[in-house]
Structure 1
Amino acid sequence: MPLVPHRRLRGAALVVATALALVGCGSDDGVPVADEKPPVLGACRVLTPDDVAEPANAGEVVDCAEAHTAETYAVGELPDSFDDADRDDEDLGAWAYRTCSTSFMEFLGADESLVMRTVVSWAWFRPSEAAWDDGARWYRCDVVGGGEQSREFVDLPTTAKGLLLGKPRDRWSVCADGETVSGSVKVPCTEPHSWRAVTTIALTKLGEDYPGDRLVEVTTRDFCSRSVGAWLNYPVDYDFGYTWFHEAEWQAGNRRSVCWAKTDR
C-alpha cells in the first residue's frame, strides 16, 4: 500500500503494511520425493532468505554446534481435515500461522509483543508438491536468524530455546537501517541503524471481525505517537513509524501493530 505521511511536530509517521513473517509461499519447489524425509525436531540447517521463500525444503542438516541459521522447533502431522486439501489452501496457511507462532513464543520464552520486535522469525515448510500428491501431510516450523526484509540471516546459538528469556539483548532485537521504516533493511540492533522497534499495540478491543484498514491504521498511529514519545522520554519533537497489517493477516490471527522510534541507540 502507498505510504501515507502523518505529522507529529516535525516527524513523519511512516506506514508500512507487510506480509506476516515468512509463511513459505511459492511455486513448485523442485524437491525430489526420494530426497525428502519427515522432519526431525531440533535439526539445524544453514538456510537463506531464498530458502525460506519456498514452501518446501530438504536442506542438509548440520551439527547444531556448527554455524547455522535455522533450527526446527516444531514438527508433526497435519490434522485429518487437510487430507484432501490443496497444498496452498488458505485454511492450511492460517492453521500453520497459529501453530508455528504459538510454538515460536513458547520456544523462545517471549510474549507476542516481544517476538514481533526480534530479529529472528519463523518459517514453515510442508511436503514437496510430488510428496503431497503421494499423501504426505506433515509440517515443520523453523526459527531463522532474520526476517522478510533481511538480506542475509545471522547465525543462531547452539539452540535458540529460551533465546528471549529475561531482558532481550540488542543482538536479537530488530532495528531498521534506512530513511524510512518501509522497505528498509532489518538488522540486529547491534549494527548501525536509524530505527528501532520499541513497542506494539494489541488491537483486540476492535473486536473479532476485521474493522477495516482505516480504523486499524488510525488506532495504530495514535497509539504509536504516544508510545514512542514516552519511550524517547518526551522530546520536543521526534520521528516515529508504525507497521500495521491487513485483513488476511487479521484472519490468520495477527492482532498487533509495531511502533518504531527513529533513533540510533
Structure 2
Amino acid sequence: MPVLAVLSVVALAGCAEDAQGRNTDPDQVDSVEVPELGVCRQLTPDDVAMPSNATAVVECTERHTAQTYAVGQLPEELDDTDYDSGELDMFAYDTCSSKFEKFLGADESLVMRTVVSWAWFRPSEKAWDDGARWYRCDVVGGGEQSEKYVDLPDTAEGLLLGRPSDRWMVCVAGPSVSGSLKIPCSEKHDWRAVTTIKLGEPPDPYPGDRVVEVTTRDFCSDSVGAWLNYPVDYDFGYTWFHEAEWEAGNRRSVCWAMTPD
C-alpha cells in the first residue's frame, strides 16, 4: 500500500477518535442503528463533552464509569432540525432526566444531590446526514466539575433506592460551597447537599436572578435548620441557577449544610 494511503487512513481514524472519544469501536462511529441498551463503557469527562460517542463497550462486570440506560428514536418533529439545535437538548433534558430518576430509583430532589449524573449522545454528523435520528442516555460516575469519573457497580439500576450510600451522595470540601470541588460524601468533607427547592414549573418564564437567589436563600435557611434539628447556630449554603439552566429545563436550587457527617 502506498505511504500516502496509509497516512490518510491514520488521519481519518484520528479524526473519528477526536470527535467520538477514546478507544472507539469502528462499527459504532457512523452507525445509523439505535445503540444497545444496558451496555457499559469507560467514559471520561472529555468523552462526555462531545455530542457523539463511539467508545467500545466493556463487560459490566469489569471496571466502567458509564452505563446506557435509555435509547430510542428521536420524535418525528425533530427529523428536520439542525444537528446542534437547542430543541434536541430540550428533548434530551426531558427524556434523559425523567428516565434517569426511574432508573436510579430516586425523585428529582435526590438526583440533584448525587455525584452521578447523565450524559446524552446523538449520531455522528455523517450518520445524521445519512438519516440517523437516535439518542442515547448514559449514567456516568461524576458531574460537570469532575476531573475523572468514579467506577459504577455492575448495574446502576436502583442505585439510590432506600437510603443511598454516602459513596453516591454529593458533598464539598472547602470553606464554602461556591467554587469548591464536589466529592462523594464518603470522603472527608465540610458541606453536604441536604435538600432542594423547586422554583417553578416547566412553562414558567425565568423569574430573574434576584428572585431566584433570594427565594433559594430564604428557603435553605429554614430547611437546613430543620435538617440539623434546629441548633442555636448553624451555617448553610445554597447553589442556584441562572437563565441558561432555566431554559434548559432546571427548576431546582440546592441547599447545603455545613456538617462533617
TM above 0.5, yes or no, is yes
17, 30, 48: which is aligned to 2:19?
A: 30
Trace 1:45-194 onto structure 2 (pairs within 5 A): 45-194=41-190
Letter aligned with residue 30 of structure 1: A
CA displacement 1:70-119 (0-9 Å, x = unmatched): 00000011111222211111111011100000000010110000000011
The CA distance in 2 between the partners of 1:65 and 1:104, in whole Å, is 21
Letter aligned with residue 181 of structure 1: V
> TM-score normalised to the size of structure 1?
0.84
> TM-score normalised to the size of structure 2?
0.86
Q: 1:114 to 1:232 in 2, by over 3 A?
A: same
The CA distance in 2 between the partners of 1:163 and 1:119, in whole Å, is 12
Structure 1 residue 65: deviation in Å? 0.7
227, 246, 252: which is aligned to 2:248?
A: 252
The CA distance in 1 between the partners of 2:152 and 2:43, in whole Å, is 11
Higher relative contact order (CA 8 A, sep 6+): 1
The CA distance in 1 between the partners of 2:105 and 2:227, in whole Å, is 23
- SS at 1:214's partner residue? helix
- SS at 1:61's partner residue? coil
Structure 1 residue 233: deviation in Å? 2.2
199, 214, 218: which is aligned to 1:218?
A: 214
The CA distance in 1 between the partners of 2:92 and 2:164, in whole Å, is 26
Structure 1 residue 49: deviation in Å? 1.2
> Within the alignment, does 1:42 sit opposite 2:48 as a pair?
no
Trace 1:6-21 onto structure 2 (pairs within 5 A): none
Q: Which runs of 5+ in 2 are unaligned?
A: 1-16
Runs of 4+ in 1 over 4 A off after TM superposition: 32-35
Structure 2 partner of 1:7: none
Q: 1:75, 1:139 within 8 Å by CA — same for their partners in 2?
A: yes
Structure 2 partner of 1:201: 197
- Looking at secondary structure, tell me which structure has more helix per residue: 2
> Within the alignment, does 1:262 sit opposite 2:251 as a pair?
no
Structure 2 partner of 1:237: 233
Q: 1:64 to 1:205 in 2, by over 3 A?
A: closer
Q: Which runs of 5+ in 1 are unaligned?
A: 1-27
Structure 1 residue 178: deviation in Å? 2.1
Q: 1:124, 1:141 within 8 Å by CA — same for their partners in 2?
A: yes
Give 1 or 2 for the bigger CA radius of gyration: 2
Letter aligned with residue 65 of structure 1: T
Structure 1 partner of 2:8: none
- Bigger Cα displacement from structure 2, 166-175 vs 201-210: 201-210
The CA distance in 2 between the partners of 1:87 and 1:200, in whole Å, is 34
Q: 1:121, 1:145 within 8 Å by CA — same for their partners in 2?
A: yes
Letter aligned with residue 78 of structure 1: L
CA displacement 1:135-173 (0-9 Å, x = unmatched): 211110000011111121111111111111111111111
Q: 1:109, 1:162 within 8 Å by CA — same for their partners in 2?
A: yes
- SS at 2:19's partner residue? coil
- Bigger Cα displacement from structure 2, 53-62 vs 236-245: 236-245
- Bigger Cα displacement from structure 2, 74-83 vs 31-40: 31-40
Q: How many residues align?
A: 238
Letter aligned with residue 47 of structure 2: D
- SS at 1:204's partner residue? coil
